[in-house]
Structure 1
Amino acid sequence: MQDLDIYDLPDLVDRNKRLLGLDPGTKTIGVAVSDRDFKVASPIKTIKRSKFKADAQELKEICADKNIGGIVMGLPVNMDGSEGPRCQSVRTLAENLKNIAGFEIPIVFWDERMSTSAVERFLIGEADMTRKRRAEVVDKAAAAYILQGALDAIQRQNNNTY
């Protein structure tokens, strides 16, 4: 699967559709959704991973329910910019969504370095959440953080083209 550029995404997504942000981990997938103008990301849920078929079905249902036209998937790049086994796992998930589950919408990757730790710091410092409550929200919040980063980049690109 050839990587799409995040800046091409608005041209590939039908008008009035939204973007889905995913933070795929080994045990969970954090899920967030954008507004139709691609300006604001909101966390919506955390999927507890099970078999691929069940996970893909849940993502398909979310895509249909939320009118999704594209997916921004967090890519856990190493701090030095290299890609390790976790990146390969995320890339395989994206390929399987396309090739096995039949997803026909574009999927792009967004560098998620430090997203979970940034969200954790916020939840501890600003939101003063307990460890149990943080565990319940950190994955979907990280998905929103990843998606918001991509949305901000798209907005900056759009502002520079006019």
Structure 2
Amino acid sequence: MPDSLDAQPGLPRGARLGVDVGKARIGLAASDPDGLIATPVETVPRVLDGGGAAPGPVTADVARIVAEAADRFAAVVYVGLPRHLSGAEGAATADARGFAGLLAAALAAAGERAQVRLVDERMTTVTAHQALYASGRKGRKHRSVIDQAAAVIILQSALDAERASGGRAGELVEVQRA
């Protein structure tokens, strides 16, 4: 009989990371190795190099996430995919896809086994603002933690989907080979 703490007997153990990609900041969250609960990690300043998804030197923001994945022996990095409420994709979606591609390439180049997967993040920032407001945090003080709170929501949603389906959530990002 499986141990009651073994949340996904069909999935290998390993922490999961959640990433909320913004224009100025990136929220980062992590789970325990069994994928039970998401917790905030940090807010990483975004590096906009104007290069899009083209391969090149690893930027400091991507390098920080790769280091966190290595430190935690992460199995998966879930990147939020911001779609419109209708499900349509826009500029922010393209930006998140490009970032996820760069992250997947950087993880592979570093010899990390973590998959990068895109998961729907509609309404996560709104939900994060509401949760912070409900906890008594004033609106002006949200900026320092809103991205982390959104990353926690992205990750917890993916963890819940893993438990419900018995498989990884979201869309796998393939590493583009030159």
SS at match of 2:136: coil
SS at match of 2:59: helix
Cα distance, 1:57 vs structure 2? 1.3
SS at match of 1:156: helix
Q: How does 1:74-153 map onto structure 2 within 5 Å?
A: 74-99=80-105, 102=109, 104=112, 105-124=114-133, 126-153=134-161
What's the TM-score, normalizing by structure 1? 0.82
CA distance in 2, matches of 1:156, 1:94: 24
| Between structures 1 and 2, the one with greater helix share | 1
* 2:163 is aligned with 1:155: yes
**Which has the bigger relative contact order, CA under 8 A and spacing at least 6?**
1
Structure 1 counterpart of 2:77: 71
* 2:36 is aligned with 1:39: yes
For these two proteins, the number of residue pairs brought into alignment is 145
Cα pair distance change 1:93/1:62, threshold 3 Å: same
Q: Which amino acid aligns with 2:116?
A: I
* 2:62 is aligned with 1:61: no
Deviations along 1:50-102, one digit per CA (max 9) or x if unpaired, are: 25511111112111222212111100011100111111111111111233563
Cα distance, 1:132 vs structure 2? 3.2
CA distance in 2, matches of 1:115, 1:45: 17
Structure 1 counterpart of 2:27: 30
CA distance in 1, matches of 2:140, 2:73: 32
CA distance in 1, matches of 2:104, 2:39: 24
* Structure 2 runs not aligned, ≥5 long: 1-9, 50-57, 167-178
CA distance in 2, matches of 1:99, 1:142: 24
Question: After TM superposition, what 4+ stretches of structure 1 lie above 6 angstroms from structure 2?
Answer: none
Note if contact 2:62-2:106 (Cα within 8 Å) is conserved in structure 1. no
* Structure 1 runs not aligned, ≥5 long: 1-9
